[in-house]
């Protein structure tokens, strides 16, 4: 299986099993326990914060067309729609796109696309004013990320803005701590699975789709990739994107970086 097929397979399984939790994984929402309204509210809050920051940094954006890359079920795409004439969401997993269409409240102004190729060739050059991608490229192999960044630039109009999230490489000590935590979590998951299997063995046979779904979400782990900040800055510059600023923070053992950049050339 190629890298992209594996990626699609993993997210398709997660999207069929426990889609909202696969996107925002908090322990209390595991097992299809996200309240959809609360889930979509997180997208509204994220976009409000985003536009506050853009305004605060004096970054202007034309309000024609926006792309949400790796849109999932449209948590952020839906919230972006009121700010633009048209918004497109792209995702690799058909199950995510199916759900995104079900949750769409903006009719034709919001379109979702399943895209399983390592590029964005379905879109003409210079058509978007804004590209956004959050909690996506950390799951994409760096070789593909490099290609997608070049594609973001190709589809943006000159003067268009990209805000993309790419966690940076962890220092070796922090990485060791992170990997130890992952191993510990896997061990706990494994023990929980064994114990719940034992419990089910003791119960009278009954349809157990919830436990199957939860098993699917434990078995299918999304891989994580970290890319050095210098590398991402270099990729953006080589793709004719002027980096305006970065925003950085730590989430547990991950050093998150959000890159704000503008495509070179006169605005159209």
Ligand X SMILES: C[S@@+](CC[C@H](N)C(=O)[O-])C[C@H]1O[C@@H](n2cnc3c(N)ncnc32)[C@H](O)[C@@H]1O
- Contacting residues toward ligand X, per CB under 6 A: 7, 11, 23, 70-72, 75-76, 90-93, 96, 115, 134-136, 139-140, 144
Nearer to ligand X, 74 or 160 (CB): 74
The neighbouring-strand residues paired with 133 are 164
Nearer to ligand X, 12 or 196 (CB): 12
Nearer to ligand X, 172 or 249 (CB): 249
Nearer to ligand X, 79 or 236 (CB): 79
CB of residue 233 vs ligand X: minimum separation in angstroms?
21
Burial class (CB within 10 angstroms; exposed 0-12, middle 13-18, buried 19+) of 50: buried
The two tokens of residue 223 are: 């891989």
Task: Decide: 157 and 263 in contact? Cβ < 8 Å.
Answer: yes
CB of residue 146 vs ligand X: minimum separation in angstroms?
12
CB of residue 74 vs ligand X: minimum separation in angstroms?
8
CB of residue 114 vs ligand X: minimum separation in angstroms?
9
Q: Can you spell out the DSSP letters for 2-64? A: -HHHHHHHHHHHHHHH-HHHHHS--GGGTTTT--HHHHHHHHHHHHHHHHHHHHHTT----SS
The two tokens of residue 182 are: 């992952």
Which residue of the chain is nearest ligand X when measured via CB? 72
CB atoms within 10 A of CB 91: 28
Distance CA 126, CA 113 (A): 18
Nearer to ligand X, 6 or 186 (CB): 6
CB of residue 136 vs ligand X: minimum separation in angstroms?
4
CB of residue 21 vs ligand X: minimum separation in angstroms?
10
Distance CA 128, CA 88 (A): 10
CB of residue 258 vs ligand X: minimum separation in angstroms?
12
Distance CA 50, CA 116 (A): 28
Residue 190 DSSP SS3: helix
Nearer to ligand X, 96 or 156 (CB): 96
Of the CA atoms within 13 Å of residue 159, those in its CB half-sphere come to 9
């Amino acid at each position: 299986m190629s890298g992209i097929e594996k990626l699609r397979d993993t997210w398709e399984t997660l999207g069929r099993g426990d889609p909202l939790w696969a996107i925002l994984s908090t322990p209390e929402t595991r097992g299809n326990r996200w309240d959809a309204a609360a889930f979509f509210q997180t997208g509204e809050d994220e976009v409000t914060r985003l536009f506050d920051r853009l305004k605060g940094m004096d970054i202007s954006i034309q309000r024609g067309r926006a792309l949400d890359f790796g849109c999932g079920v449209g948590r952020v795409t839906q919230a972006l729609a009121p700010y633009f004439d048209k918004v497109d969401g792209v995702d690799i997993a058909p199950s995510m796109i199916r759900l995104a269409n079900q949750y769409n409240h903006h009719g034709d102004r919001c379109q979702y696309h399943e895209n399983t190729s390592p590029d964005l060739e379905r879109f003409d050059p210079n058509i978007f004013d804004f590209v956004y991608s959050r909690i996506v490229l950390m799951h994409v192999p760096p070789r593909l990320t490099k290609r997608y960044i070049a594609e973001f630039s190709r589809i943006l109009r000159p003067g268009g803005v990209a805000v993309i999230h790419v966690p940076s490489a962890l220092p070796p000590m922090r990485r060791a701590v992170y990997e130890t935590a992952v191993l510990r979590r896997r061990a706990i998951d494994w023990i929980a699975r064994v114990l719940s299997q034992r419990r089910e063995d003791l119960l009278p046979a009954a349809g157990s789709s919830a436990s199957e779904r939860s098993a699917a979400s434990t078995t299918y782990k999304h891989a994580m990739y970290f890319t050095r900040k210098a590398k991402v800055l270099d990729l953006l510059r080589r793709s004719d994107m002027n980096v305006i600023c970065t925003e950085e923070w730590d989430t547990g053992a991950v050093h998150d970086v959000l890159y704000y950049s503008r495509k070179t050339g006169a605005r159209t």
